[in-house]
Structure 1
């Protein structure tokens, strides 16, 4: 009896540690930077708000990324879709000055790519990693080809105010959009049958199928969601930078994966936390900000970001090993 009680306590301790790992790391990093970079303005309200603005697009894509990874899939097209969506929106605005038409075209592109990714995975049975890696290259190349790598400026002040540089009661619209997406994501993931079916699909697809879950439809749906959300992130990129550029979102797919995994979603699927993904993305933003304030070069920052991704995946594997 004593052995069973001790074993239960050990299991609960591991689960609590795993659940709150990202919050512990966030706290430690924040305190460390607050002490070492206090003379460089790390704790200033302007700097902290800037971190939230800069991570908004990653944070928003991490909402959909949680659904993707929790279902046992990977979507490497998010950065490329964001770039192409920004280009499409910019070109439509330049030609018609219609915000509604630009949004329809930009989001429609994300929907089509998401549906096609889902088709490749569910109908052609391609591994999501390989399918989306190929699509990522094709989309990024198309974004470069459309304008021969030239930027497309946006001169519509209403668009840039709503989707980029505007503020509401002193709060950046990028932060407000982030809050909206997380409010929706948390409810859908935690409170609806769809969220439970996503976790069931990632946890054990065969068992989920036998239980009546339409796993193929679930996977198709999450890829569509991922495509549309990535396209919206591209719209925010365009609004913030007041232009469309093929280089937007370069490397975002890795940042999204790292944020989601750091936030407690297992790479193997079956578990996930939308709010954890937010903390993970802001954590990465804090680290990037701290590295810049600390005077590290671009190359050194890239090295550190790569190590963070490795650490995130390793932590996920260790966590799953403890649970088995």
Structure 2
């Protein structure tokens, strides 16, 4: 019997056993889903009346849209600031100056070790104590600060790993051409590293969007908080959280789709020009000319 690359092709008894296990698994999953549905339905959480508030414009205008606006605002600002901070720190960790390299390393290791929620709470009360921002923007500033510091430290490590993954010949060739460290990093290493880092950076941007939900602990108006407020106001916690979950999934997929399109565009733009086709040699003509 022919075998595949990873495993042997199952025989008749093995195929029968696999089909039986698959059938049992499907039955168990359906039973669990039915029990969950029955428990929720018995408490009246899945009745049509619990979903009717989502058909009114007042609920979306009062609760859902402000939550979406808060989530997108915090995520957009945090992504921009975290990318800028991450690239500065990542290049700093690769610097030839010892002081810059050590300072960047301490910053990155410290903020990678501190939980995001702790940084949000600390920044929130720090800004409130010193009256840095107006009271209505305190929660937003705390969320952005926590997300920027943590994700900036993570992106710095991504940048450092991306540059180290490049062949050493790139740096040696630049040195042979007489380029300085800054010129080498700016013109040769970082452009190549960014292309290879894009999938990891996309994943980190999705993490930033999801972590905005932690702002719930400092009264930041975002989607998850608004979902609980809807559940409390209308007594439909399960439908409210289901709707919020679907909206979060849609936002994450949209962000991933946009980032993937940007990645493909950057990869195409960094391709070199097509090689020129060599003209065919006319050997007979060359011989007749005595070549």
What TM-score comes out, normalization by structure 2 length?
0.30
Which structure: larger Rg?
2
